[in-house]
Amino acid sequence: MEVIFIKDLKNQGKKGQVKKVKDGYAENFLIKNGYAVKKTKENMARLEHQKAKKAKEDELNRENALKEKEKLSKEVLEFKVKTGAGDKVFGSISVKQIKDELDKKGYKVEKNMIDIDGTIASLGFHDVNINLHQDVIATIKVHVIK
């Protein structure tokens, strides 16, 4: 029997995947527990409709991310830090501090979207990547001053 997975099931199938499985397994486990539905014309049409809807949504999100990237690329965040002898910085700039600063400027960025290479623990300019979409990455400047 061929089934269409409607939920991800580890080591069996991903959502939207069509797979041939044994009849008993399909009826007694996959369909019964809501992991899959039988492959029919109606269910295939529903799957295609969902894929088209998801692709349209994804394209809209990508366009919004590109607009956001334009704005973010112009931003320079300044952080004032305490320094010791030889301009050695005490501590470092964290992802949370960057997120808070971006929130103050009106950007909706989550902590897991911010990607810092190493640590920001020296004076000067540093590049920080922000993953806005799976294929849209904005780079902002972080300026650390005394």
Query: How high is the mean pLDDT in each 10-residue block of the chain (146 residues)?
Result: 93 92 94 94 93 93 91 90 84 90 90 88 91 90 90
pLDDT at position 27 is 94
User: Contact, 81 vs 89, CB < 8 A?
Assistant: yes
In order of their start, the domains of the chain are: 2-66 (3.40.5.10), 68-145 (3.10.430.100)
pLDDT at position 82 is 87
- Which residues have CB under 8 Å from 28's CB, separation 6+? none
pLDDT at position 84 is 85
In whole angstroms, how large is the CA radius of gyration of the chain?
A: 24
pTM over the 0.75 mark: no
Q: Where are the alpha helices (DSSP H) in 6-40?
A: 23-25
pLDDT at position 28 is 95
